A and B are shown apart, each in its own frame.
Chain A
Amino acid sequence: MKSLYLLIATALLQSCGNEKKPETLVKSENAHDAPPVKYGVEGSYTGDFKPKTYKPGTADLENNRITIFIDSMNGEQAFGHSVVAGNERSFSGRFTRQGNNFIVDAREPGDDPYDGAFSFTLDTATKTITGTWTANKKDLQITERSYVLRPRAFRYDPALSLPEDIVGMSMPGTYNDDTGEGEMVTEDAIRFNASTTLLRSSDVENMYKADLELIRNAIYARHGYSFKNKRMRRIFDNYVEWYLPFSTNISSRLSETEQKNISLLKRYEAHAAKYYDAFGR
């Protein structure tokens, strides 16, 4: 099925006359999805990555959204990778079968401070992955997380838009208790879809930085980009239902409209960050 999508995607790309980078696109998709399906459970599973064991006083206990890819299974070996919080990590380990269930115990390579071990049960009847992840480093703020993941197919859809209920939220990390002020998300953030509409200066010049940032990052989110940036992660992981973290490198997949909008938005964001509240214009 995946390879069928790929064929269609490639054919579409070529027929559109967009000869720019179809090769990179196919390659990177292959890296994720091409391994042969032997057990019918290979594929991707997405859900909340919830803090389970953490140090007292840990400020940041929001869920991250994680996608676990079961890339291939062979004999008693399982290979896969996870994408969460802007981090794409492979894992490998052993699995056993118990009735409908695959029980997997796998480790990440160990050369990243946030590496650890996955231990989960994949229920083939409900197509659900349930389990925990334990950090290698015991001095991290959060040393254990739990998750229940469901298969959710990723498909780039430029028409997806940000949900209305983010309007009025204060941007994560900007709220100041003393002044009672923070950077608010306004209705501007949902006014434009920068994947489908080529924006003009006049569309964005009167916008606050937070809204510009959201409009731009929604482009990356539609491509399944996993955010390292905490502000964006909080919003997309927790409030955007359609969002699936699938990759940490999507730059080669951006359309021309998206690329133009990104550079326009970045310019206005940079200007807002530096000059909005400064003595100057």
Chain B
Amino acid sequence: MLLAQRRPSPARLLLLAAYGFFCWLMWLIVAQYFEGRSDTAFLGIKQEYVRLPFYLPAFYIHVFASVLALPAGLSQFSSTLQRRFPAIHRFNGWLYVASILLLAAPSGFYIGLFANGGLSSRISFCLLALLWFWFTLAAVRNAIQKRFSAHKAFMYRSFALTLSAITLRIWKYALVATLHPRPMDVYQVVAWLGWIPNLLIAEYLIFKRIRK
């Protein structure tokens, strides 16, 4: 991954470009919701829930806050930024943390209660929201208490879950292109596949880079 390398290598630049590309795709998805119709895109198949008291507000908060957490999160892993511009690192970090703790994670938990694909995907998305909240909160508390390796470890975990917005959709795209599963079958699978491998990779990186 692009986390700990010191100098921009071609591989790192390529990853950055790919990341930018996926952030842009995510932005296109989210931008559809500016029209404010209660049957746009994903909402078209959530018609029995859009009338629930907080569903639409929670949904909008979730998508708009999450799409900002994606680019905000990445630059935080830049060691140049951490060393030479710590004020920017801290300011951007507060934005990232606040957008998750106050907006994206709580709203994600709420809409996760009504997720497509039945009980299994509901458990997955609610668990994802809880872990996201916990890792992000733990990361910021460790930073305040100046325990920086714990801060770093929890930010790896937090960002791994932030990235699930992208990885879930990559998995879905790949599974549909190769296996043509039924729409809700693939949904149940990617609900878990979207974040568990990310977290495993994060744990591996923490083990290799921080615990050593």
**Residue ranges of A at the interface with B (Cβ–Cβ < 8 Å):** 181, 201, 205-208, 267-268, 270-272, 274-281
Contact = CB atoms under 8 A, between A and B. Distances in A.
A277 B39 CA distance: 19
A208 B169 CA distance: 19
A274 B28 CA distance: 14
Given A201-B45, A267-B44, A277-B173, 9 more contacts: A201-B47, A206-B182, A207-B183, A267-B47, A277-B176, A279-B169, A281-B42, A281-B168, A281-B187
The 4 closest A-B pairs by CB, nearest first: A206-B184, A206-B182, A277-B176, A279-B173
A208 B182 contact: yes
B29 interface: yes
Given A201-B47, A267-B47, A270-B44, A279 B185 contact: no
B183 A272 contact: yes
Interface string B122-143: 0000000000000000000000
Contact of A271 (B29, B44, B182): B44
A113 to B, nearest CB: 36
A201 to B, nearest CB: 6
Contacts of A267: 39, 44-45, 47
A267 B180 CA distance: 20
Interface of B: 25, 29, 39, 41-42, 44-45, 47-48, 116, 168-170, 172-173, 176-177, 180, 182-185, 187
B44 A206 contact: no
- Among A205, A270, A271, A280, the most chain B Cβ lie within 10 Å of the Cβ of A280
A151 B17 CA distance: 68
A281 B47 contact: no
Contacts of B44: 267, 270-271
Q: Is the interface of B mostly helix, strand, loop or mixed?
A: helix
B169 A280 contact: yes
A206 B172 contact: no
B116 A205 contact: yes
Contacts of B182: 206-208
A205 B41 contact: no
B28 to A, nearest CB: 9
Contact of B185 (A206, A268, A272, A275): A206
A279 B170 contact: yes
Nearest to B22: A279
A181 B178 CA distance: 11
B12 to A, nearest CB: 23
A103 to B, nearest CB: 54
Contacts of A207: 182-183
A281 B172 contact: yes
Nearest to B182: A206
Nearest to A184: B180
B45 A205 contact: yes
Contacts of A278: 173
Contacts of B116: 205, 281
A275 B168 CA distance: 14
A131 to B, nearest CB: 45
A154 to B, nearest CB: 34
A197 B127 CA distance: 36
Given A267-B45, A270-B44, A206 B183 contact: yes
Contacts of B169: 279-281
A275 B172 CA distance: 11
B196 to A, nearest CB: 18
A278 B25 CA distance: 11
Contacts of B47: 201, 267
Given A206-B183, A276-B183, A268 B45 contact: yes
